[in-house]
């Protein structure tokens, strides 16, 4: 399959632990996005990468959240000292470039549960 | 301020009938894009249709069409000949062209198609 992949699909962790969520975008897509979907909520933007740089980090909720992208491909979202309010589905999306028509292709998401 | 408003938390339609899902948006930028995504119970976000602010005609994709009324700032999704497989959450989203590429989503409408 050539779609966006994410791992793990489910993650259960204890409050205070760190977690890493991985996103593998569609090959050749230069733009990558992380969103969060909490129960009963719409999608909330977290961060946008163009290549390896992140020109928009405005959606990261706190300094416990960080993300990186290496080789213009795989991205990792790290949440340190997880809290119960971090429980959500974390969705990754990629798009071909930053052109006007910017269809974003989404991955299946990682469901994070913080106990 | 809410940028994307979906006022219908839930909609019901019978199979083979048409249904309209409402979306209004708020922006002061003249250049923007409007998107509709479908999210079935499996959780994956599926792109349906796109409308650019400068597009002269309403977008259509198969059974999906977008009723774009720029002066009213509305971008309603019309699904013709509903099918059981259309039962899902539907999200309207906007991307403002100047600046960054993130999508801003509404809170969604849950559509249930009955036989």
Q: What is the pLDDT of residues B55-88, one digit of tens each?
A: 989 999 999 999 999 999 999 999 999 999 999 9
Q: Are A42 and B91 in contact (CB under 8 A)?
A: yes
Question: pLDDT band for position A97 (50/70/90)?
Answer: confident
What are B109's two structure tokens?
A: 């409408």
Task: Tell if the CB–CB gap between A95 and B101 is shorter than 8 Å.
Answer: yes
Query: Is the predicted pLDDT of residue B1 greater than 60, yes or no?
Result: no
Q: Would you call B33 and A42 a contact, using CB atoms and an 8 Å cutoff?
A: no
**A98 pLDDT band (50/70/90 cuts)?**
low
> Which chain A residues touch B4 with a CB distance below 8 Å?
42
Inter-CA distances, B53 with B59, B66, B103, Å: 11, 12, 15
Question: Min CA distance, A81 vs chain B (Å)?
Answer: 26
Q: Does B28 touch chain A (CB under 8 A)?
A: no
pLDDT, residue B99, reads 58
Long-range CB contacts (< 8 A, 24+ apart) of A69-75? A69/A32, A72/A30, A73/A24, A73/A25, A73/A27, A74/A22, A74/A23, A74/A24, A74/A25, A75/A22, A75/A23, A75/A25, A75/A32, A75/A34, A75/A49
b/e burial code for range A36-70 (CB count within 10 A of at least 16 → b): bbeeeebbbbbbbbbeeebebeebbeeeebebebe
In sequence order, the 6+-apart residues with CB closer than 8 A to the CB of B47 are A103, A104, A105, A106, B35, B36, B37
Q: In this complex, do B52 and A43 lie within 8 Å of one another by their Cβ atoms? A: no
Task: Answer whether the bond into residue A91 is a cis peptide, omega within 30°.
Answer: no
Window 34-93 of B, Cβ < 8 Å to A: 35, 37, 42-47, 50, 52, 91, 93
The residues of A whose Cβ lies within 8 A of any Cβ of B are 31, 33, 35, 41-45, 48, 50, 55-56, 58-59, 89, 91, 93, 95, 98, 100-109, 111
């Amino acid at each position: 399959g050539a779609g966006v992949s994410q791992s793990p699909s489910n993650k259960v962790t204890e409050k205070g632990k760190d977690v890493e969520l991985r996103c593998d975008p569609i090959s050749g897509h230069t733009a990558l996005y992380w969103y969060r979907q909490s129960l009963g909520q719409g999608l909330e933007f977290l961060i946008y990468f163009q290549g390896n740089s992140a020109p928009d980090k405005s959606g990261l909720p706190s300094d416990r959240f960080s993300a990186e992208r290496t080789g213009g491909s795989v991205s990792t979202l790290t949440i340190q000292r997880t809290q119960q309010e971090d429980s959500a589905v974390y969705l990754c999306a990629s798009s071909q470039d930053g052109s006007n028509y910017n269809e974003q292709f989404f991955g299946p998401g990682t469901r994070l549960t913080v106990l | 301020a809410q940028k994307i408003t979906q006022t219908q938390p839930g909609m019901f339609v019978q199979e083979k009938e048409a249904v309209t899902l409402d979306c209004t948006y708020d922006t002061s930028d003249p250049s923007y894009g409007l998107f509709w995504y479908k999210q079935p119970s499996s959780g994956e976000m599926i792109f349906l249709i796109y409308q650019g602010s400068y597009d002269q005609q309403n977008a259509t994709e198969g059974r999906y069409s977008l009723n774009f009324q720029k002066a009213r700032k509305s971008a309603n999704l019309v699904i013709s000949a509903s099918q059981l497989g259309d039962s899902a959450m539907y999200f309207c989203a906007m991307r403002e062209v100047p600046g960054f590429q993130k999508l801003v989503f509404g809170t969604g409408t849950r559509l249930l198609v009955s036989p």
